Amino acid sequence: MADTLTIDAAAIWTGNKGQVIRDARLVTKGNTIMRVGSRAEFPDVEGQYVDFSQYWIVPGLIDVHAHLVFGDQGRRYEDYIREDGDDLMLLRAARNAQTHLAAGVTTLRDCGGRNNVVVSLRSGISRGLLEGPTIVASGRPLTITGGHFWWCNQECDGVEGVRQACRQLIKNGVDFFKIMASGGGTKGTDAKVASFTVEEIKAATDIARNHGMRTTAHCEATASVERAIAGGIHCVEHAGFQEPDGTRTYRPDLVEQMVEKGIYYSPTIQTAFGGVKRYSGRTGLSEAEQRGLKAQRYKLERKLENLAKIYAAGVKVIAGTDAISHFGEYVTGLELFCHSCMTPEEALVSATSLAAEAIGLGDKVGMIAKGKMADLLVVEADPLQDISALRKIAAVIKGGRFFTGSPVGAAYTPFPPVSREPAGVDEVLGRR
């Protein structure tokens, strides 16, 4: 019984919309949830007793889009590639993973790192060498020669080149394929221009399906969204809907296709918010900074408007941070979801059960139910009333073990400290 916990809570939100258990009790054994219900249903205490009867418990959060090998503020991609070896990237990735876990992210899909760094980290965590979230790793993202993230070392061109790259990635032990379907922030690439052809994307998605794997595509250009959908992609990242002239135009026809084909959408919306917030409240901006603020505000406003339309159309929206320079800051994206179009509960679904389904782990994580992993986030207030309650963390439990807030022994202190303050969404954008 040493590895058994009985945990009481004021309420448990299970991950199913509308399903809240009041005066709740759950029992975990090892890394698994054995039972969950009300205290009246399960009056007996098994193993160690933990009293969270004044708190809410929700499933551990899932970040479907992060880049663990980065995370030093103020550095460009080129700085990392020129200055850092894989050994340093692995150390940084481990730190970032633990910082994210301390913020309640118990599962993380890494969407691209150099060489086999993140695959190695995933294996180290799964073997118990260090604490961290469950990692789903793409390893090196597929990109055209000189394309976005080319320095991760998986350039490929043409259908046969893509097939060969996919087979090599499978050999290296990746969990899914990340496809850079347009340019991005990498020097020399253009986010307004598609990269791979439909046939090249289809080559990757066909191999993925043959091996029971999933795919997701970085899509900033409208043309890249169109090609990714036609190529059989499973999930779309960003969907910037950028035209060659730099405008961002909503495409209802493409959104309809996403609904029809059951494609998931990860808007990574807080990256645009971060760009606006950098300038917020500052005076005396230079002309270059004023242009930057204008561009970031235009990007954010269009993405918020498009998100509301995409969500209303019925696309399955999931939560991802695109964490590169900031880790441990997850809730801002959910606050933006609520600012745009979602209720707090809908935002929670996007961050838990729906996200788990999207990344192929719906049978293991994303819900509090018998047989699921004991990945739990304990918070001080009701997140169904205010999503920012997810910042008020009392404990993070990963696989039945306390990572923060342990009632026995010292709590882990992440580095850098996790922010508990709201991101100021309403202050920066104005209330809706």
Tens-place pLDDT, residues 122-143: 999 999 999 999 999 999 999 9
State the average pLDDT for the chain: 93
Q: What is the b/e burial string over 111-146, where b = at least 16 CB atoms within 10 angstroms of the residue's CB?
A: bbbbbbbbbbbbebbeeeeebbbbbbbbbbbbbbee
**In the prediction, which pLDDT does 277 show?**
85
Q: Tell me the C-alpha distance between 334 and 354, whole Å.
A: 14
Residue 97 amino acid letter: A
Predicted confidence (pLDDT) at residue 65 exceeds the cutoff of 80: yes
Q: Is the C-alpha dihedral spanning 112, 149, 334, 177 positive or negative?
A: negative
With cut-offs at 50, 70 and 90, classify the pLDDT of residue 417.
Answer: low
Cβ atoms of 265 and 236 within 8 Å: the answer is yes
Angle, alpha carbons 335-340-344 (nearest 5°) = 45
pLDDT, average across residues 392-405: 93
Q: What is the pTM of this model?
A: 0.95
Residue range 350-388, pLDDT digits in tens: 999 999 999 999 999 999 999 999 999 999 999 999 999
The tokens describing 39, both together, are: 């205290």
pLDDT of residue 126: 96
**Nearest Cα to 211, choosing from 238, 171, 248, 178?**
171
pLDDT per residue as tens digits for the range 23-33:
999 999 999 99
Specify the pLDDT at position 405. Answer: 81
In angstroms, the CA 133 to CA 139 distance is 16
- Is 408 a residue whose pLDDT tops 50? no
Q: Output the pLDDT for position 279.
A: 82
Give mean pLDDT, residues 53-59: 97
8 A C-beta contact, residue 32 and residue 371: yes
Distance CA 90, CA 70 (A): 10
Bridge partners, residue 137, by sequence: 110
Which residue reads 């986010």 in tokens?
A: 191
> Which amino acid is residue 336, in one-letter code?
L
CATH topology classification for 4-58+363-429: Urease, subunit C; domain 1 (2.30.40)
pLDDT of residue 2: 63
> Tokens in use for 407?
């009632």
- At 283, the pLDDT band (50, 70, 90 cuts) reads confident
231-261 CB burial, b ≥16 within 10 A, e <16: bbbbbbbbbbbbeeeeebeeeeebbebbeee
The residues with which 216 forms a beta bridge, in sequence order, are 178, 235
For domain 61-357, give its CATH number from 3.40.225.10, 3.40.50.720, 3.20.20.140, 1.10.1040.10. Answer: 3.20.20.140
The larger pLDDT score, comparing residue 142 to residue 409, is at 142
- For 350-388, give the DSSP string: HHTHHHHHHTT-TTTSSS-STTSB--EEEESS-TTT-GG
* Contact criterion met (CB below 8 Å) for 389 and 348: no
Q: CB–CB of 124/136 below 8 Å?
A: no
Buried-state track 290-307, b at ≥16 Cβ within 10 A, e below 16: eebbeebbebbebbbebb
Give the pairing type, strands 264-266 and 20-29. unpaired
Q: Which two structure tokens, joined as six digits, stand for 272?
A: 């645009």
Per-residue pLDDT reduced to its tens digit, 155-202: 999 999 999 999 999 999 999 999 999 999 999 999 999 999 999 999
Lowest mean pLDDT among 79-93, 95-109, 268-282, 403-417: 403-417
Does the structure show a pLDDT above 50 at 10? yes
Q: What does the alpha-carbon distance between residue 200 and residue 401 come to, in Å, rounded to a whole number?
A: 43
pLDDT tens readout for residues 234-252: 999 999 999 999 999 999 9
Residue 410: its pLDDT value, please?
39
pLDDT tens sequence across 206-233: 999 999 999 999 999 999 999 999 999 9
How far CA 402 is from CA of 104, 278, 397, in Å, comes to: 11, 34, 4
What band does 271 get if pLDDT is binned at 50, 70 and 90?
A: confident
> Which part of the chain is CATH 2.30.40.10?
4-58+363-429
The CATH 3.20.20.140 portion of the chain extends over: 61-357
Helices 287-313 and 331-340, axial angle in degrees (round to 10): 70
Share of the chain above pLDDT 90, in %: 82
State the pLDDT at residue 409: 38
Question: Is the bond into 416 cis (omega within 30 degrees of 0)?
Answer: yes
Between CA 374 and CA 391 the distance in angstroms is 20
